[in-house]
Amino acid sequence: MAQNVFKIKRAFLIPFITIVVLLLLLFLLSLFRGQMWEKIVLAGFFTSTLLIAIEATRREIVVTDEGLKIEKFFRTKEFVWTEITHLDVVNLRNKIYFLLTTTKGFYFFSNLLENHALLIRSLVDKLDNERVETEVKNYLDHPVERRSLIVMCWFAVLISTAFIILKLLLV
């Protein structure tokens, strides 16, 4: 049984996890040198980014000969190919979202997955033409990479690092 596993890009996960670690460090520093509102805000930011990081590292889509398996935050949905009724694409500049309609509901994923064009090609090959929109096939001719989110994460790493340095210098 051949299977392909598609996860969130490492180019996104590395800076995002770095942000989580830096927020933890900044929160720990604020426990000793911060005001109450600063502690509360940093605790909220750290908690929410930690949960998002856990979700991003666990999210994966597995394509097999029998069907499709979507794993998200301790939930797994499995579909055989006959349960998938429609595949469509929504293009918002460099943000591409693929909508998968099944007999069990709607599911979507973005172009932030590694080898997302291969994933879409695998889905198109497994589904017949009436279940795949023409825009999906057109997208495969010119797939779009999503780099802006990765750049924003590295920018957030720089800003968090600057805050930590300022916090350490301003005793």
Percent of the chain at pLDDT above 90? 57
The pLDDT of residue 55 = 92
The pLDDT of residue 74 = 80
List beta partners, residue 113. Answer: 8
Total domain count for the chain? 1
- Within 59-147, residue ranges assigned H as helices are 116-126, 134-141
Contact 139, 89 (CB under 8 A): yes
The tally of CA atoms less than 13 A away on the side-chain side of residue 15 is: 18
| pLDDT tens digits, one per residue of 109-156 | 888 999 888 999 999 988 888 888 989 888 888 888 888 889 999 999
Q: For the whole model, what pTM was predicted?
A: 0.86
Is residue 73's pLDDT more than 60? yes
Between 169 and 21, name the one with better pLDDT. 21
Question: Structural domain of residue 89, as residue ranges?
Answer: 3-169
Q: What are phi and psi of 74, to 5 degrees?
A: 65, 20
The pLDDT of residue 75 = 87
CATH assignment of the domain containing 112: 2.30.29.30
Residue located via tokens 């069990």: 104
Maximum C-alpha span of the chain: 66
| pLDDT tens digits, one per residue of 8-35 | 999 999 999 999 999 999 999 999 888 8
- Is residue 3 exposed (0-12), middle (13-18) or buried (19+ Cβ within 10 Å)? exposed
List beta partners, residue 160. Answer: none
Contact 61, 68 (CB under 8 A): yes
- Is residue 37 exposed (0-12), middle (13-18) or buried (19+ Cβ within 10 Å)? exposed
* Amino acid letter, 83: E
